[in-house]
């Protein structure tokens, strides 16, 4: 295996923590690593509680945090709080900007055309899944001289953690997962069937809390069918893009913010009622993937193993017509990605052909080693949220049963954003579970 070239950019201390900014040069394609192999940069920021002296910090074990996504950069902490506060008592935390995100070599509408044709760009992005992220982490671990570390995976980070357990378990002291037990087999269609059902139930729950919002949603949908409205970037706000406000339904800490979004949707103008600037500004952040285009490009590929996903959510939508934009009553959607994203979002339009090629790719490499997971010896614990609309409970428990020794804490107290709700408590509980089951 190649070695990562490592350099430290800067060190800072503020608000009770010290940070170190690390840059690593790693192969684009780990299977073709060699002297002349193409390389990219991966950025990581280290966080240490200032209560530890520098000498003490040098002896702390490391914790690698793998965030949600795909396509989300590492968290930027203004101070330690929640799970990071709990973890920093006993760990040095390393937060990756996973390849293609943040300060790592970017992959977006501006940079991808440097690769050449749409086919060239798609071939490049084949190296941006969990297997490559884990291979990056392994080179980083070795460059930092870490014999083994604890990993903590949230959502897609949990998917990456299962890949890590599959291909480099010897590097792991223990594994903690929240809302991220990926299905290990099966087509992506199964994931989206479960997702549509969960999101429909969550819609019903939300409108039972805020029945007045049912009328507002219908009013907005009717208005958009009859009146052209534009988001701040100049692109149209369509009914289907408005449905993306269902992203608020995915967590306890965000769900009530949907009500705040809807409550000031309309203003009176000389030409009649129009959508307010405040509402449109907030919808811009919901309906555009400008800041994380890899999410739209790579989302379905995280379920692709040996077969094409072929726009699975779009195809499965035919089985759930209640989610169509012309349905009455209108339902808000979850994390599904559809082909029209690449027609209506200006940040994604240049990548439409690339997205089509990725959706059609039928020879995705395996992300998990079922035999190795079945004989797992790394202490591991996972939180499974009973009503999680993004990572289905039933599929999660099936995965848990396939990983030897994985301890599960199933709870209905949290949704997908549990660690934003009680991160300190969740982290402490999972760490305790993993360590109590250590062999």
What pLDDT does 439 receive?
Answer: 44
Rounded CA separation 66/385 (Å): 18
On average, the pLDDT of the chain sits at 96
Number of C-beta neighbours around residue 286 at 10 A:
17
Give yes or no: 6 in active site: no
> Nearest 5 degrees, angle CA 307-CA 157-CA 119?
40
Give yes or no: 318 in active site: no
Active-site option among 104, 155, 301, 396: 155
Give yes or no: 416 in active site: yes
Q: Look at residue 283 and tell me whether its pLDDT is greater than 60.
A: yes
Of the candidates 108, 93, 182, 219, which has an alpha carbon nearest to the alpha carbon of residue 382? 182
Give the start-to-end residue ranges of the domains of the chain: 5-184+368-436, 188-360
What is the tens place of the pLDDT at every residue in 15-71? 999 999 999 999 999 998 677 899 999 999 999 999 999 999 999 999 999 999 999
Q: Note the pTM of the prediction, 2 decimals.
A: 0.96
Q: Are 386 and 351 in contact (CB under 8 A)?
A: no
Strands 149-154 and 172-178: parallel
**Residue % of the chain over a pLDDT of 70:** 99
Q: Which two tokens stand for residue 389?
A: 């609309």
What is the tens place of the pLDDT at every residue in 131-153? 999 999 999 999 999 999 999 99
Domain covering 5-184+368-436 in this structure, CATH number? 3.40.50.1820
Active-site option among 52, 127, 415, 416: 416
What pLDDT does 175 receive?
Answer: 98
Active-site option among 79, 363, 401, 436: 363
């Amino acid at each position: 295996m190649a070695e990562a070239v490592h350099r430290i950019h800067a060190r800072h201390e503020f608000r009770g923590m010290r940070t170190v900014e690390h840059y690593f040069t790693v192969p684009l394609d780990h299977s073709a690593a060699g002297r002349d192999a193409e390389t990219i940069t991966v950025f990581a920021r280290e966080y240490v509680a200032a209560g530890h002296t520098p000498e003490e910090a040098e002896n702390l074990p490391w914790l690698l945090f793998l965030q949600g996504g795909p396509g989300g950069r590492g968290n930027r902490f203004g101070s330690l709080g929640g799970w990071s506060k709990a973890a920093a008592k006993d760990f040095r935390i390393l937060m990756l900007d996973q390849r293609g995100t943040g300060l790592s070599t970017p992959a977006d509408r501006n940079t991808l055309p440097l690769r050449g044709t749409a086919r060239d760009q798609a071939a490049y992005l084949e190296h941006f899944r969990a297997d490559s992220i884990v291979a990056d982490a392994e080179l980083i671990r070795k460059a930092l001289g870490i014999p083994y570390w604890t990993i903590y995976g949230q959502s897609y980070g949990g998917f990456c953690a299962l890949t890590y357990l599959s291909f480099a378990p010897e590097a792991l002291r223990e594994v903690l997962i929240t809302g991220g037990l990926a299905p290990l087999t099966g087509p992506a269609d199964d994931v989206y069937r479960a997702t549509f059902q969960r999101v429909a139930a969550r819609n019903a729950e939300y409108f039972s809390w805020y029945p007045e919002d049912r009328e507002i949603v219908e009013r907005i949908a009717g208005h958009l069918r009859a009146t052209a409205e534009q988001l701040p970037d100049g692109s149209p706000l369509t009914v289907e893009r408005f449905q993306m406000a269902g992203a608020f339904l995915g967590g306890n800490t965000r769900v009530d913010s949907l009500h705040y979004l809807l409550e000031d949707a309309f203003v009176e103008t000389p030409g009649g009622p129009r959508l307010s600037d405040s509402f449109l500004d907030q919808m811009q952040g919901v309906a555009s993937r400008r800041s994380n285009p890899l999410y739209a490009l790579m989302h379905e590929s995280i379920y692709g193993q040996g077969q094409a996903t072929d726009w699975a959510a779009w195809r499965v939508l035919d089985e759930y017509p209640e989610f169509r934009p012309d349905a009455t009553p209108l339902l808000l959607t979850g994390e599904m990605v559809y082909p029209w994203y690449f027609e209506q979002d200006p940040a994604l339009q240049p990548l439409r052909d690339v997205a089509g090629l990725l959706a059609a790719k039928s020879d995705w490499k395996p992300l998990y080693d079922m035999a190795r997971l079945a004989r797992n010896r790394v202490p591991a614990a996972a939180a499974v949220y009973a009503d999680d609309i993004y990572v289905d409970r039933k599929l999660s428990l099936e995965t848990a049963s396939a990983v030897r020794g994985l301890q599960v804490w199933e709870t209905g107290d949290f949704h997908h954003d549990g660690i934003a709700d009680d991160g300190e408590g969740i982290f402490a509980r999972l760490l305790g579970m993993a360590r109590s089951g250590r062999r």
